Amino acid sequence: MVSGKSLIAGNWEEGQGSSFTSFSPLDGSKLNDYRGVNSSQVDRAVNAASEAYLVFKALDFDKRAAFIEDVASEVEALGDELLEVCNQETGLGIPRLTGERARTCGQLRAFASLIREGSWQQASIDTAIPDRKPLPRPDIRSILAPIGPVAVFSASNFPLAFSTLGGDTASALAAGNPVIVKGHPSHPATSELCARAIEKAIEKNNFPKAVFSLLQGADPLVSNELVKHPKIEAVGFTGSTHVGRTLFDQASSRPKPIPVFAEMGSANPLFILANAVKNRTSEIANGLAGSITLGTGQFCTKPGLVFMLTSADTEAFKGKLVAALEQIPDAVLLNANIKTGLQQKLTAYSNKSELLKLTGNTVGGGYLFTVSATDFIKNPELEEEVFGPAALIIECKDMDEMTKAASQLGGHLTGTIHTDNDEEAEKLKSILEEKVGRIIYNGFPTGVEVCPSMHHGGPYPSSTFAAATSVGTAAIKRFCKVVSYQNAPQGHLPEGLKNENPRGIMRLVNGKYSTSKI
Amino acid sequence: MVSGKSLIAGNWEEGQGSSFTSFSPLDGSKLNDYRGVNSSQVDRAVNAASEAYLVFKALDFDKRAAFIEDVASEVEALGDELLEVCNQETGLGIPRLTGERARTCGQLRAFASLIREGSWQQASIDTAIPDRKPLPRPDIRSILAPIGPVAVFSASNFPLAFSTLGGDTASALAAGNPVIVKGHPSHPATSELCARAIEKAIEKNNFPKAVFSLLQGADPLVSNELVKHPKIEAVGFTGSTHVGRTLFDQASSRPKPIPVFAEMGSANPLFILANAVKNRTSEIANGLAGSITLGTGQFCTKPGLVFMLTSADTEAFKGKLVAALEQIPDAVLLNANIKTGLQQKLTAYSNKSELLKLTGNTVGGGYLFTVSATDFIKNPELEEEVFGPAALIIECKDMDEMTKAASQLGGHLTGTIHTDNDEEAEKLKSILEEKVGRIIYNGFPTGVEVCPSMHHGGPYPSSTFAAATSVGTAAIKRFCKVVSYQNAPQGHLPEGLKNENPRGIMRLVNGKYSTSKI
């Protein structure tokens, strides 16, 4: 039974702000009425988080790790209720949500393992050289440290893995920061269930309650108040470029600016070179149709731009891609806003004389358009993400035109090259290194592996920091600062910098990597 | 012989913008007239740097390292002329400038060694698991990569180590980025000499000329144009909070925002606990007097705020500190702006009824004031940096009041604790971890060691990114993005990610550290 309340520093409270309603995207029916929080509720959640921080940051990593593992177990303990409530709110289907729950719990446990192992802290030690001339060298040690309360804005398209207990929350908690989640109004009951899971883990571990709060709401003013609160130290966000940029601007114009790690989606250009389309026509066409329509095309890594060379092979490919798309059943979109937004984009595309529609009838089914590279270059708005199962083939006269079009792209999360000729693709690769965060060879960008090497980010506008990832264990670094200690007594040093190195972590000691004691 | 010109992508050009004049701070005499660059010169420098970038980023690390070492040698080859010209422009004195030149060349060589060794790249490799269920795991590899042209705004107080060829330039070049320096108008001839040194190294190595440009100028509009140029990807800055924040705001409001790594100075709070002042009265007083007046107090780490407990020991300490300050000869300030700014602050301090002046007569000599902690807390403007040889003792009734005052501080580069009782200082340490980038025990904050563990940065307003350092080899990470590769052919991977690991660098391989081949 969903309460409709917000979890503010350990108490479930009725919101005192403006109302909103949740709907089922499966049939458009109304699910629940909510009241979002108001300013004073935001203020209380953040102030309590700021106090909880001083306790939370000092806890042993083993305790922090055990707590995060308990969060994962409590999510699993929600059982079928979580999947059913989430499916009602998102229409993503039980099989997909079962997989996404596994991913969500897997992420939490990966961060727990990471902090228990400890080497992620980038500990660096330069020992003293008392007899150095002209001046002695002091003992200097530095390490990653938590930063304080983090505001997390959850995404609609991954209601578990990028939402209330998703990667942003998991990485911010693992780094030692309290988290205040602004729940996505598209799946508030899912958020409430997840908040209950973390509430149980907090109680079980006897942690400060304000280590986590969930604020329900659909009012942008509340988001602004959260970002502008002087005790918020960083923001994690996944969503549209428009909203991400708004939060970034709010955070950058604070008296004390704070970083906003916004992952804002992209059109994920995909390049199919001549040999590849000839040798693997059906394989690529079928794989691409699956990637375009996965999750009803509502993935930030959906390939929306497909660059090909004009040829008979490409013509054959287009036929196969259209056929493959037409065999995939229509599916529901996450909410009315996304559906309206997609409808408008598709209408605009259909009305554009430079574009030719190859297939597409109903919103929620696969759409495919083509355009010449010349017209693509002339119409920069065609590079914008279309959030839904739609793609645009850009036909290039030759490799020169293809690399020219690639050179003029903005930032995207991913870029994909299908090639059976590495040499021919060399220049394209060099261009994509400046345009995307992940270059995929002979595959598809959807399916973002959670692992230490994953980089899910990219040049603006795909994200706000091209060095930051929101997927994979490296995401923890976003929510850290660095503190260094000069000639500190052992008792004042964080564990990772003590001589004895109790966890045996990898450290840079006088410029050399070592897991030894000092 | 100084030409007064700017170095724009390999050509020495007369500036086409507004004029400025350099003066000797030693006697106020006029040195040279200059014309700064105009918009079209900025534009040409950046566009050329953007083209040079694609060549520069692809060069082998050994070539890049040799080039940076050549820059250091060419600086040394400038000989006494550099020191004399620099002393004329800054008045810092030949001994200090000799040391600073050694530091500047040492920094350059440290970055050369760093990139030659190669482990700084944070290479991470997760190998494929083709038979994983339900889906195979792809091969994913990620690494730090350069970002493109970097604009560097040089500082007045370190005309060599934080200026044209200072740490920002060295780290940006080491990362593989072209650099456009906006020279400080307080020492344009020094900048020109340094630019000639790097020009020679570029010629010797046959590198693209636009890897480095020096733009002379004193017009804030030109700075704005440089920061706003669409092909500039990041900014490094050392200077005042006002100018740093202005550049940050300009960069954050671009259509494509870029990071500004601004180190903006601080008041560097120093806490002297009861035991320490009793046991080491003269030692601390003499050391502190030296630290306050070092470089005429024009260090970003000058200790400006001294927190002490009211006691007879503190009274004795104040007497010794005054005596020590009065024995230090007056010295010149870097330029007329700094002198006027300091004069105004000192007058304001002298006129404030809450403050008592203990010593201080002439601008350029040591000034010392005291204030009660109660009044300090009531007057937050007293926390602002006073750039010059001046300090303020804040007298606290007890440790509670001292920790309360510490809790209310904003961000500073450093915080220092003098204590002979670690336990008593524990709480203060925990507070300072949230307020400063470097905590110093029983020492003084001036003297910033260049080493891998150094962190020269701190919470806002001391810097714009609390995770970034502008001193030490970790500074290179500021000017990098991350690129990941999925199922890439070996030939397309950067050296650090290739199976063979030719340089034997430390990498994270399937989550474990290793220097082995794959």
| B190 Cβ contact list (under 8 Å, min separation 6) | B82, B85, B86, B89, B90, B159, B160, B163, B164
> A270 and chain B: CB distance < 8 Å anywhere?
no
In the block, tokens 């918009």 appear at B39
Question: Which of B50, B453, B462 to probe by mutation at the A interface, max A CB count within 10 Å?
Answer: B453
Q: Does B136 touch chain A (CB under 8 A)?
A: no
Whether residue A1 is predicted with pLDDT greater than 80 in this model: the reply is no
Closest CA to A290 of A279, A275, A301: A301
User: Which residues on chain B are in Cβ contact (under 8 Å) with A473?
Assistant: 511
Q: How far apart are CA A237 and CA A184, in angstroms?
A: 11
Per-residue pLDDT, averaged over B259-275, amounts to 96
Among the partner residues A58, A439, A461, nearest to B488 by beta-carbon distance = A439
Mean pLDDT of B34-53: 98
Reported as a single tens digit per residue, the pLDDT across B325-361 is 999 999 999 999 999 999 999 999 999 999 999 999 9
Collect all residues of chain A within an 8 Å Cβ-Cβ radius of residue B488: 429, 439, 441
Tokens 């580069």 sit on residue: B413
Task: Determine the residue of chain B that is closest to A431 in CA distance.
Answer: B54
B145 touches chain A (CB under 8 A): yes
Q: What is the pLDDT of residue B394?
A: 98
Query: Does the beta-carbon distance from B437 to A484 stay under 8 Å?
Result: yes
* Contact between chains at A449 and B138 (C-beta distance less than 8 A): yes
Mean pLDDT on B356-377: 96
Nearest in space to B101 (alpha carbons), one of B138, B120, B74, B139: B74
pLDDT, tens digit (0-9, with 9 covering 90-100), for B60-83: 999 999 999 999 999 999 999 999
What pLDDT score does B474 carry?
A: 97
Catalytic residue among B105, B300, B396, B480: B300
What DSSP character marks residue B466? Answer: T
pLDDT per residue over A203-241, tens digit each?
Answer: 999 999 999 999 999 999 999 999 999 999 999 999 999
Q: Which of B100, B249, B492, B516 is most worth mutating to test chain A (most A CB atoms within 10 A of its CB)? A: B492
**A215/A182 Cα distance (integer angstroms):** 5
Chain-chain contact of B487 with A259 (C-beta, under 8 angstroms): no
User: Which tens digits make up the pLDDT trace of B178-211?
Assistant: 999 999 999 999 999 999 999 999 999 999 999 9
Contact between A461 and B256 using a beta-carbon 8 Å cutoff:
yes
In 3D space, the residue among A437, A9, A57 whose CA is nearest the CA of residue A181 turns out to be A9
Residue A137: which residues within 8 A CB-CB, separation 6 or more? A126, A128, A129, A130, B449, B451
Q: How many angstroms separate the CA atoms of A68 and A167, rounded?
A: 12
- Report the residue of B486, B497, B507, B512 to disrupt the A interface, i.e. the one with the largest count of A CBs within 10 Å: B486
**Per-residue tokens: A248:** 């970034």
Tell whether the model's pLDDT for residue A405 goes beyond 80: yes
The whole-angstrom separation of Cα B206 and Cα B167 is 23
Orientation angle between helical segments A79-90 and A61-77, nearest 10 degrees:
70
- pLDDT number for residue B135: 87
* Chain A residues close to B454, C-beta within 8 Å: 126, 140, 142, 484
Average pLDDT, chain A: 97
* Neighbouring residues of B340: CB distance < 8 A, sequence distance ≥ 6: none
Share of chain B above pLDDT 70, in %: 100
Q: Cβ contacts (< 8 Å) between B232 and chain A: which residues?
A: none
**Dist CA A208 CA A49 (whole Å):** 9
**Nearest chain B CA: its distance from A199 CA (Å):** 27
pLDDT digits (tens, 9 = 90+) for B461-483: 999 999 999 999 999 999 999 99
Write down the pLDDT at residue A265. Answer: 82
Q: A144 and B439 in contact by Cβ < 8 A?
A: no
pLDDT at B265: 82
CB spacing of B252 vs A252 below 8 angstroms: yes
pLDDT confidence of residue B266? 95
Residues 230-249 of A with CB under 8 A from B: 248-249
Query: Could you tell me which chain B residue has the CA closest to the CA of A434?
Result: B147
pLDDT (tens digit per residue) in A93-143? 999 999 999 999 999 999 999 999 999 999 999 999 999 988 899 999 999
- C-alpha span between B215 and B8 (Å, rounded): 7
Mention every residue, 6+ apart, whose C-beta is less than 8 A from residue B102.
none
What is residue A13's predicted lDDT score, i.e. its pLDDT?
Answer: 97
pLDDT tens, B98-144? 999 999 999 999 999 999 999 999 999 999 999 998 889 999 999 99
Tell me the residues of chain B between 451 and 470 that have a Cβ less than 8 Å away from chain A: 451-455, 457, 459-461, 464-469
For residue B232 the two structure tokens come to 């500039």
Residue of chain A minimizing CA distance to B426? A492
Kindly determine whether residue B248 and residue A257, on different chains, have CB atoms separated by under 8 Å: yes
Residue contact B482–A489, C-beta within 8 A: no
**Exposure string over A123-143, b if 16+ CB within 10 A, otherwise e:** bbbbeeeeeeeeeeebbbbbb
Q: Which domains does chain A have, with CATH numbers?
A: 6-20+31-264+468-478 (3.40.605.10), 270-441 (3.40.309.10)
Provide the 3-class DSSP secondary structure of residue B180: strand
Contact of B161 with B147, CB cutoff 8 Å: no
Calculate ∠ Cα A254-B301-B336, nearest 5°.
85
Instruction: Please check the confidence at residue A258 and state whether its pLDDT lies above 80.
Output: yes
Give per-residue pLDDT as tens, B410-432: 999 999 999 999 999 999 999 99
- Reported as a pLDDT band with limits 50, 70 and 90, residue B384 is very high
- Residue A171 CA: distances (Å) to CA of A85, B251, B296: 25, 28, 45
Is A55 touching B (CB cutoff 8 A)?
no
User: Which of B119, B140, B411 faces A454 most closely, judged by CB atoms?
Assistant: B140
Question: Does A422 sit within 8 Å of B449, measured CB to CB?
Answer: no
Measure the CA angle with vertex A154, ends A49 and A64; round to 5°: 45
The answer to whether residue B158 scores a pLDDT higher than 80 is yes
Confidence label for B321 from pLDDT (cuts 50, 70 and 90): very high
pLDDT computed for residue A211 by the predictor: 98
Contacts of A411 in chain B (CB under 8 A): 256
